[in-house]
């Protein structure tokens, strides 16, 4: 559902589509009653809207998973409560708490809005106390969290699914490269020893079980000399899992539908090495040239306007057998 007047790209392949504000309760109920099953792939949905949908129609994942991931402080507290390693963190409600928060995290640190941040938005870096006030002011008074820097050698993510019966299937960890806070590439296989690959999958499974989760989730982690540190979770199919379209018999999108529909989960085994590259903004103009390259899949999202920082599509390059 959307308040935008623009026709969504997915409408071209949908039997029907509904467009209304999230606080339009009549529209929510009408939408729910027209469905056998509801899911979502966007985190910035008001959690009360999910309650209205779930009144009449099965909804997966549920409200708890959304609320946990929507608020960075709630998310970090949840992960730490599972005994998982995270960046040092502290709540930061206003400037009076800045010294105490940085005392917990140390510097350098990153100040982040607790909600509505993605692709590097709602963040400000603090290298020392002298620059902290300006960094906090850039968040424009939004409730925030301070996070200490994590010294990592690489960033990885695990895409994992949990079915309605509790069955879990996970894909191999992918190695991620970001540019300007936006995912640029995901490479499979990640340059990790087998033990760390196994640990990453076990961490994702632990999170899924703790949330009694149903569906596909992305779990982002840092690789450090001390072990794996969980960065954040995303209760949805994930950009860093798009490689599964070229690398697996059952990709993350089908896996999500299998999970929420109560079907057996597909095998997450990888049959090919893949590099996924996002097409950001004007990168989409390269699509025709890229289409001529061997081993390339192109996926365009049908968005009407290319803007700086906007994900317009992605490319999967098969680089060899697994």
CATH number of domain containing 117: 3.30.1490.20
Instruction: Give a yes or no: residue 236 inside a domain.
Output: yes
Is 308 found in the same domain as 168? yes
- Where is the domain boundary, 129, 148, 167? 148
Is 95 found in the same domain as 32? no
Is 165 found in the same domain as 293? yes
- Where is the domain boundary, 128, 148, 168? 148
Is 275 found in the same domain as 242? yes
Is 245 found in the same domain as 193? yes
Instruction: Give a yes or no: residue 246 inside a domain.
Output: yes
Is 246 found in the same domain as 191? yes
Instruction: Give a yes or no: residue 158 inside a domain.
Output: yes
Instruction: Give a yes or no: residue 1 inside a domain.
Output: no
Its pTM stands at: 0.93
| Percent of all residues in the chain with a pLDDT value above 70, rounded to a whole number | 97
Is 284 found in the same domain as 201? yes
Is 185 found in the same domain as 62? no
Instruction: Give a yes or no: residue 263 inside a domain.
Output: yes
pLDDT at 181: 86
Q: CATH number, domain at 276?
A: 3.30.470.20
Give yes or no for residue 115 having a pLDDT over 60: yes
- Between 246 and 15, name the one with better pLDDT: 246
Is 219 found in the same domain as 158? yes
- Read off the tokens for 85: 């390693």
pLDDT at 315: 98
* Total count of domains within the chain: 3
Q: Cα dihedral sign for 191, 194, 199, 202?
A: positive
Residue 314 CA to residue 310 CA, distance in Å, equals 12
pLDDT at 1: 47
Instruction: Give a yes or no: residue 79 inside a domain.
Output: no
Q: CATH number, domain at 50?
A: 3.40.50.20
For 55-58, the CB contacts below 8 A with 24+ separation are 55/29, 56/29, 56/32, 57/32, 57/33
Is 314 found in the same domain as 177? yes
Is 267 found in the same domain as 209? yes
pLDDT at 22: 94
Is 297 found in the same domain as 179? yes
3-state secondary structure of 10: helix
Q: 94: domain range?
A: 88-148
Which ranges in 223-322 belong to alpha helices (H)? 244-247, 252-261, 287-290
Count CA atoms closer than 13 A to 205's CA, side-chain side: 14
Q: How confident is the model at residue 2 (pLDDT cuts 50, 70, 90)?
A: very low
């Amino acid at each position: 559902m959307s308040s935008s007047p623009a026709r969504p790209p997915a409408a071209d392949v949908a039997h029907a589509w509904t467009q209304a504000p999230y606080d339009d309760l009549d529209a929510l109920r009408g939408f729910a009653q027209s469905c056998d099953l509801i899911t979502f792939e966007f985190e910035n949905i008001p959690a009360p809207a999910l309650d209205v949908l779930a009144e009449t129609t099965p909804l997966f994942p549920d409200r708890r998973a959304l609320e946990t991931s929507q608020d960075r402080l709630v998310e970090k507290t949840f992960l730490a409560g599972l005994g998982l390693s995270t960046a040092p963190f502290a709540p930061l409600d206003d400037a009076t708490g800045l010294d105490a928060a940085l005392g917990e995290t140390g510097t350098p640190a990153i100040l982040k809005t607790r909600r509505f941040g993605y692709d590097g938005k709602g963040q400000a870096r603090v290298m020392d106390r002298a620059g902290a006030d300006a960094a906090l002011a850039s968040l424009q008074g939004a409730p925030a969290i301070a996070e200490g820097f994590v010294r990592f050698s690489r960033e990885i993510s695990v895409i994992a699914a949990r079915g309605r019966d509790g069955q879990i299937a996970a894909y191999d960890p992918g190695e991620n490269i970001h540019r300007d806070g936006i995912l640029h590439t995901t490479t499979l296989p990640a340059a990790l020893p087998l033990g760390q690959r196994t640990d990453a999958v076990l961490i994702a499974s632990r999170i899924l079980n703790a949330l009694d989760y149903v569906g596909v989730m992305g779990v982002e982690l840092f690789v450090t000399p001390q072990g794996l540190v969980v960065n954040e979770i995303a209760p949805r199919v994930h950009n860093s899992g798009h490689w599964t379209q070229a690398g697996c018999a059952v990709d993350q999108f089908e896996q999500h539908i299998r999970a929420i529909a109560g079907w057996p989960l597909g095998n997450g085994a990888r049959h090919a090495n893949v590099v996924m590259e996002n097409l950001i903004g004007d990168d989409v103009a390269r699509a025709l040239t890229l289409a001529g390259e061997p081993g390339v899949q192109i996926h365009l999202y049908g968005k009407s306007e290319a803007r700086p920082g906007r994900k317009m599509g992605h490319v999967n390059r098969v680089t060899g057998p697994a």
